[in-house]
Amino acid sequence: MKALKPVPLVVMIAVLLSAAPASAAKMEISDPNDVRGKLDLRRVIRSGEDKLTWRLITYKGWSVKEIWSVGTLVVDLDTRFDSAPDYYVTIFPTHDKLKARLFRDRKNKKDYQVGKVKVWRKNRKSASIQLSLSRVKVGDDRATYSWRAQTLYYGSSACSDVCFDMAPQNDAWVTEPLPVP
């Protein structure tokens, strides 16, 4: 029987790393200064693996009271690969603080509220949410999910009707691998 030669540790680590599934721990997209109103998106940062976090950053600062009844931030999720949102998290002001809720978009029925979502602000130009993908149903044959962010700002002289901003733009979605359990 032939004796096995020891494999250098560096080679073993390289092989193990190349076999590990790809994981996107952080994704950042930029958006141009293209929409009037306080909620023009500048950047969206998606981070985390088990609990996913989205941070929506605007060009202008705003307070909860300033956007109360005139502003909403949204993160859409496509989990069934049909290029339409299956779920969405809406971030909305209530007089003195932000709240966030997860909804199931049921297409031909009234949307169903799945539950509350953690929301916080790091500064006057951002709002963040955290969501575990275990709270949404993902298609059996999916290895990826898609997301996009949007803001709606209305009731101001800056916008004659409603100012919409989406990131990414032009109805595009960001597609990422599902977290590995």
Residue at 10 is within a domain: no
pLDDT for 9 equals 31
Report the phi/psi class of residue 83: left, alpha or beta, with left for phi > 0 and alpha for psi in -120 to 50.
left
Query: Is 139's pLDDT higher than 90?
Result: no
Specify the higher pLDDT residue, 92 or 15.
Answer: 92
Residue at 150 is within a domain: yes
CATH of the domain at 74: 2.60.40.1190
Residue at 157 is within a domain: yes
Residue at 66 is within a domain: yes
Residue at 5 is within a domain: no
Residue at 3 is within a domain: no
Range of the domain at 61: 27-176
Q: Distance between CA 169 and CA 179 in Å, rounded? A: 25
Query: 94-134 pLDDT, tens per residue?
Result: 988 999 999 999 888 999 999 999 999 999 999 999 999 99
Q: Which residues contact 82 (CB under 8 A, 6 or more apart)?
A: none
Residue at 82 is within a domain: yes
pTM above 0.85, yes or no: no
Q: Distance between CA 138 and CA 133 in Å, rounded? A: 8
Query: Is 66's pLDDT higher than 80?
Result: yes
Q: For residue 151, which of 42, 23, 49 has the smallest C-alpha distance?
A: 42
Mean pLDDT (the chain) is: 85
Supply angle C-alpha 20, 53, 127, rounded to 5: 160
Q: How many CB atoms lie within 10 A of CB 110?
A: 7
Q: Distance between CA 30 and CA 75 in Å, rounded? A: 15
Query: Is 142's pLDDT higher than 90?
Result: no
Report the domain count for the chain: 1
Residue at 22 is within a domain: no
Query: Is 12's pLDDT higher than 70?
Result: no
